[in-house]
A = this chain, B = another copy of it.
Amino acid sequence: MSTSSQRDPFVVVREKLDQAVEVLKEKDLDLWLTFVRETTQVRDPSVDLIVGFDLTWQSALMVSRTGERIAIVGRYDVDNVKNIGGYTSVIGYDESIRQPLLEQIQRLRPRQIGLNFSESDPSADGLTHGMFRVLANILGGTEYAARLVSAAPVVAALRGRKSPTEIEHIRAAIDVTEEILQEVRARVRPGMTERDVADMIHGMVEGRGLGTAWEWNFCPIVCAGPEGVFGHRMPGDTQVREGALLQIDFGAEQDGFVADLQRTMYFCRPGEDGPPEEVQKAWKAAKAAMEAGRAALRPGAKGWEVDAVARQALVEAGYPEYKHAFGHHIGRNAHDGATILGPKWERYGTSIEGVVEVGNVFAIELGVFVPGYGYIGCEEDVLVTADGAEYLSQVQEEIWCVHPS
């Protein structure tokens, strides 16, 4: 867990609460209700957006299109929520949330109450089924029981449209991730195992007081040579060796925001100038597909349209389709929900129908396996502006070659 900065930690929370009101107006939703408890056990991702710390007893966080931001929380959490400085009303309770929650809803008289559930967007799906039942029970017998809808469009917009402060945080996470990857480039040597490389990176992360963008034991993903199977696996005993590739998928977490990058290295044999031709050919095809996808990543494009461009470019160059999505949001999480730039596979649900918007930050990625050499992985982070997608990361243009020392 990273220590938060000593600056006012709630700047972003207040920005997101302000933004939420605007999104509610745009999406024509009267009330957005985040309903949680014991968030150390199950933490609705929206708690990060509009609170920033854990809540204990049943807690209702409500934002109305009229601009009210009401928090109903257990008595021990009241002062903390007041400290955010973003709620117009903070109401504490001891024995039951029922009465204060009913009172507020009956006062606000919303036509719809948006809840955090979604079949397709994990970031908009923080409401547990048990808490849904608790709420249905509390509202039972009122007209509001029939007014519960999914708040997923609101959550996706709020999470996906990064504020200037959020973008600044993501840039900083990318910068430090690149710094670490360059240090790895300078220090990694044939004979090291994947585990050695991961341990080295963990040391750099700890030395800088950072966290990892995803679960510690699986971040970085390190794939040495053709023996390693590409996946979400833990680094193993396979050694980095001359005449083979090394692919690293890694992101650092700093102040609650993350990067997600892949870098590919080749270890020259004595006398070799660079990677052999078939590796270079695959690299160029991967890079061309990356660039085709990036060019298609513009405001208004649908997620699946962007994926299709990159996928087709790779296939037309004679390589197999990658078995994942071309792109995903990053921010507070390496898989930050909302629109996925992915193919029309059932497991992506409607997330690929989402539309790219200004202020979105995506990781875009694809790869090619080169038999005998290993895996080429390309992944960069981009910010969507009115003009298209601009790189936030320093793009890897060529395979990093390491010559025998």
User: Per-position contact with B for A196-216: 1 when CB-CB < 8 Å, else 0?
Assistant: 000000100000000110111
**With A98-B346, A128-B129, A215-B54: A134-B119 Cβ-Cβ less than 8 Å:** yes
Besides the known contacts A41-B126, A95-B347, 13 further A-B residue pairs in the complex with CB atoms under 8 A apart: A1-B1, A38-B335, A41-B333, A42-B44, A43-B43, A58-B347, A83-B234, A117-B128, A125-B131, A127-B130, A128-B128, A129-B129, A132-B132
Q: Name the distance in Å between A89's Cβ and chain B's nearest Cβ.
A: 19
Chain B contacts of A58 at CB under 8 A? 347
In the A-B complex, the 4 residue pairs with the smallest Cβ-Cβ separation, listed nearest first, are: A96-B346, A125-B130, A76-B231, A117-B129
Copies in the complex: 2
| Shortest Cβ distance from A118 into B: residue | B130
Chain B contacts of A94 at CB under 8 A? 323, 345
A123 touches B (CB below 8 Å):
yes
Q: Please tell me if the beta carbons of B212 and A1 are within 8 angstroms of each other in the complex.
A: yes
A11 touches B (CB below 8 Å):
no
Chain B contacts of A229 at CB under 8 A? 79
Q: Interface size (A, Cβ < 8 Å)?
A: 75
Q: Please tell me if the beta carbons of A215 and B347 are within 8 angstroms of each other in the complex.
A: no
Interface residues of A in 56-106 (CB under 8 A from B): 56-58, 74-80, 83, 93-98
Chain B contacts of A44 at CB under 8 A? 42
Chain B contacts of A323 at CB under 8 A? 75, 94
